[in-house]
């Protein structure tokens, strides 16, 4: 259990396949926790959790200094080269239930490719997919 001098941010990384979700998670944590590479098929097939170290002096609660920890949940996404849409949904729901069951600050990071034109239909589908995950 987190001590009262600490705040934890739980961040789930979502987005379409091969958008750079795992790379974004590694950048945030300053780690190589998540497998990330260019591939014609999906790289991430299950949810995995990475942790930052304890970051001191970054925020306060009731005037007292708090240390911050960041937990990042990397996820597979749809369309996936070896999992069906239902399997991806199940995997992400289970990952969230298992790793993010404690109370605290929970955020979602939606990763989009900046080098491709924005495709409203695709992005709408991703957002709908995220909403379904949270039901």
18 makes contact with ligand GTP (CB under 6 A): yes
DSSP string, 35-91: -----SS-S--S-EEEE---EEEEEEETTEEEEEEEEEEE---SS-SSS-HHHHHHH
Min CB(107)–ligand GTP separation in Å? 18
Site string for ligand GTP, 21-40 (x = CB under 6 A): xxx------------xxxx-
Q: Which of residues 52-81 bind ligand GTP (CB under 6 A)?
A: 77
Nearer to ligand GTP, 23 or 68 (CB): 23
| 50 contacts ligand GTP (rule: CB under 6 A) | no
Cβ 44 to Mg ion shortest distance, Å: 3
Among 22, 127, 49, 45, residue whose Cα is nearest residue 91: 45
Q: Which residues bind Mg ion (CB under 5 A)?
A: 21-22, 43-44
């Amino acid at each position: 259990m987190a001590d009262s001098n600490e705040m934890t941010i739980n961040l789930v990384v979502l987005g379409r396949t091969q958008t750079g979700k795992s790379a974004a998670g590694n950048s945030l944590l300053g780690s190589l926790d998540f497998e990330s590479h260019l591939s014609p098929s999906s790289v991430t097939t299950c949810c995995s959790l990475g942790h930052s170290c304890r970051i001191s002096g970054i925020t306060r609660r009731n005037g007292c200094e708090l240390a911050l920890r960041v937990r990042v949940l990397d996820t597979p996404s749809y369309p996936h080269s070896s999992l069906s849409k239902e399997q991806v949904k199940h995997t992400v729901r289970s990952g969230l239930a298992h790793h993010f069951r404690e109370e605290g600050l929970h955020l979602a990071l939606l990763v989009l490719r900046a080098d491709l034109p924005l495709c409203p239909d695709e992005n709408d589908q991703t957002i709908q997919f995220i909403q379904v995950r949270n039901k």
